[in-house]
Structure 1
């Protein structure tokens, strides 16, 4: 749908709790080894004592305040998450809509593992393009990776999970009235669904959550998958092809050449060196202009929120001038990879 671009990204925000768990403390406590800590690319992760949906509400309130907008004209609230939202049989998207005052908005929940935030943006963009009655859409994410169901330091290979809420406010772009900090020029997705079994392994389908062992253990099914498929090489090759494809599709849809000097940065998921080297960094080498942005040192992987958190960082980055571009790459188990291209714009002085 070529006519839908650009979409105004009026504000992007992240809310992180004050609590922290540090790598040094985890090594000292024997939670991880010194060898495991190498290459994580972080010193600490945020740890929340509030429910995940409340973090989304706080991020949404920040985004609305930054945009100078109220919630009454928001027609869609799309909330993405990876892990438990505080109740077993419940809609966090409705809760968020109610708490921010968007009580007549259409709330929708999006679960696509770590790509849920990007998928929620995609739903919002398509809804804005297709429904002339919709004037604004809010996208949020939030995850809280807490015991007893989740050990943020040991649940996965090469990933440490941090707690945060994120939000972006989107509108159809009107140059005369826009309050945009960024223009979303494209958002593309590439899927390789044959890899869904990497998060299933040999485990049988269960009748209730946390049936296999009482906590989330991503390592068990991944280990089984690698044993059944002779290692990681085939997946790594396929993943790189998908990342390359989604990146080039996004740039082409945005009308930007890969070596365009206006591309100032390429933001990557907030993952360890090993994971980034397996599927992302080799693709970027020599292909695309712009430096690599790895904003993970004090956040870790924010579940569904990496893309939105990176957009929040980019929107507040003073080094990005009007006309400059940033590329934001995401991905999540299943597997689906995503890529957004945004352009910095000069907001009008008289809002």
Structure 2
């Protein structure tokens, strides 16, 4: 149970430049079948800014929306999945310094594409345990740039977009009100299956340095070897079961369902049309009849950022998915390892 009235004010920052699917098709970077399975129009691409630089932009936007002074932030939690621009440093400290949260304790969060959920869970623990009620800043950022990563062809069934997300997380206490436009967090549930970590690991050997096995990250090779031993049907079935169970747990925690509140929508990880059809759609249907949506048509998969980007869509004034007062929505998240999370939010 989420204690007290925990609120979050999310934001995102995406590059203005993008690579179009029609151009990727013309260049032979994807096939017609892959484009149809994905169903996405474009991927945002950062031509010059690193992931942490984009995170600073998103953080400043979230702080402004929440009306929260940067110097009041108690902790900065930064999550990512891929290279942050330097080989040996702390991007979380860079984000804290760049966003003005100079009194915060920066921490890096590594849970692959479920990193935003892990950071959000840590933020909830912090704001509910800290008697001062000081807010926490959560950020994510990824840039899937060549030559180290092929955003179109480096993975099966996933296209990767560049961008950053952020959220200020706080707790309304006493006379403190929830900031205008923020969402209240009603549930956050997480499940994990560590035995599936080999889906993203070269099982032949551990390497002494990055890109030892090749000049670019090759997610396909590890997945192909994993599915050869596990079986694709069995693996997809496991993904559906875990998703259903974590969503059901979150809805119970939030009091959603028979005899409880109605659920406006369920937003999915941005993994494309085929994955929504084969995994997430059936998994959600086992638990609720609420409509589902994949909002990745113009963003692709944002690495650790899908969750907060979806929460931004639920809170942003111009978004067609914006919650009206009194409405509830759920957002699903998943990451290699594997880990699954489900968040339920409410517009007060």
TM interval, shorter chain, is over 0.9
In the alignment, the residues of structure 2 paired with residue 91 and residue 214 of structure 1 have an alpha-carbon distance, to the nearest angstrom, of 24
CA contact (8 A) 1:42 1:297 kept: yes
How much has 1:101 moved relative to structure 2? Answer: 1.0
Counterpart CA distance in 1 for 2:245 and 2:97 is 39
Aligned to 2:145: 146
| Cross-structure match for 1:182 | 183
Q: Aligned pair 1:329/2:332, yes or no? A: yes
| Cα offset, 1:202, TM superposition | 3.1
TM-superposed CA distance for 1:64, in Å, is: 1.1
Corresponding residue SS for 2:138: strand
Partner of 1:348: none
1:202-239, CA deviations, whole angstroms, 9 ceiling, x for partnerless residues? 3310001111112111000000111122x212211211
Say what the alpha-carbon RMSD is for the aligned residues. Answer: 1.6
TM-score by length of 1: 0.94
- Cα distance change of structure 1 residues 260 and 34 upon mapping to structure 2, 3 Å threshold: farther
Paired residues of 2:254 and 2:344 also in contact (CA < 8 A)? yes
1:201 CA displacement? 4.3
Indicate the residue corresponding to 2:297 in structure 1.
297
1:42 to 40, 57, 60: 40
Q: CA deviation at 1:284?
A: 1.6
Unaligned runs of 5+ in 2: none
In the alignment, structure 1 residue 202 sits paired with structure 2 residue 203:
yes
Per-residue CA deviation, residues 120-143 of structure 1 (Å, 9 max, x unaligned), is 111111111222235100100000
Range 98-107 or range 249-258, more displaced? 249-258
User: CA contact under 8 A between 1:79 and 1:110: conserved in structure 2?
Assistant: yes
Against the structure 1 CA distance between its residues 225 and 286, is the aligned structure 2 distance closer, same or farther, given a 3 Å change threshold?
Answer: closer
The 3 A distance-change label for structure 1 pair 5 and 242 is: farther
Q: Is the 8 A contact 1:23 1:42 kept in 2?
A: yes
Q: Deviations over 1:46-85 (max 9, x none)?
A: 0002000011000011111112221011001000000000
Q: Does 1:33 align with 2:31?
A: yes
Partner SS state of residue 280, structure 1: helix
Shift of 1:175: 7.0
Distance in 2 (CA, whole Å) between partners of 1:151 and 1:259 is 48
After TM superposition, the structure 1 = structure 2 runs for residues 156-167 of structure 1, keeping only pairs within 5 Å, are 156-167=155-166
May I ask how many residue pairs the two structures share in their alignment? 342
1:136 equivalent to 2:135? Answer yes
Structure 1 unmatched runs, 5+: 346-351
Partner of 1:205: helix, strand, or coil? coil
In the TM superposition, what is the alpha-carbon distance from 1:200 to its structure 2 partner? 1.2
**1:245 maps to which residue?**
245
Query: How far is the alpha carbon of 1:286 from its aligned partner?
Result: 5.5
Q: State which of 338, 341, 345 in structure 2 corresponds to 1:338.
A: 341
Q: TM-score, normalised by structure 2?
A: 0.94
Q: State the match for 1:224 in structure 2.
A: 225
Write out the 4+ residue segments of structure 1 that deviate beyond 6 Å after TM superposition: none
Equivalent residue of 1:39, what SS?
helix
Name the SS for the 1:282 alignment partner: helix
User: Quick one: distance in 1 between partners of 2:149 and 2:199?
Assistant: 19
Which residue in 1 is equivalent to 2:312?
312
1:136-171 alpha-carbon deviations (Å, 9 max, x no partner): 001000000000100000111110000001001110
Q: Secondary structure at the match of 1:208?
A: coil
